[in-house]
Amino acid sequence: MIVYLKFSLLFFVIHFFSYIIAGVTDLQLAKKMYKGKNRLYKSFFRDMENQEESLRVAKLLIPSQLVRAILMSVVLYPVLPFLITLSFWAKFFFMGGLMFIYADFSSAIPFSNTIEGLVYLKKEFVENRVFWIIQLEAILYSILFGLLSAWLLF
């Protein structure tokens, strides 16, 4: 039981670190999508320039990511014994690929960088520039998560 608890807590730390680094990096490229009067996502994202909404997001950031990381880690419990036996690079490709493919690109949620988004969203949300800027965050997160997981998680 302690092994699983340690795995989930370390999974959270790795996830949160990767999530913050990838998000902050991407935000530098995507400011016009998330901020400002003419931002692309103004119809469905909270206005981070509004202090009340920004405080709400800040208050929920860590708890929401903790829940997310615990749920993602618990799903891996049955395969932990197998994952431990893999080489560093196999762990990296498995964990990074899992995050990129399952948690992002192939997600059932339509967004600017998912297969579902390419099918269902209006053109302005998936044009090349938007797709690749958002995809960069997913790729960076997946690489960081895969590397840190392979190094620290097993």
- Kindly state the average pLDDT of the residues 25-42: 87
What residue ranges do the domains of the chain occupy? Answer: 2-153
- Kindly state the average pLDDT of the residues 101-123: 96
Checking if the pLDDT of 86 tops 90, the result is yes
| 44 DSSP assignment | T
pLDDT of residue 32: 82
Q: What is the mean pLDDT of the chain?
A: 94
Q: What phi, psi does 45 have (nearest 5°)? A: -100, 150
Give a three-class secondary structure readout of 58-94. Answer: HHHHHHHHHHHHHHHHHHHHHHHHHHHCCCHHHHHHH
pTM of the model: 0.93
Checking if the pLDDT of 138 tops 90, the result is yes
Q: At what angle do helices 2-34 and 51-76 cross, to 10 degrees?
A: 140
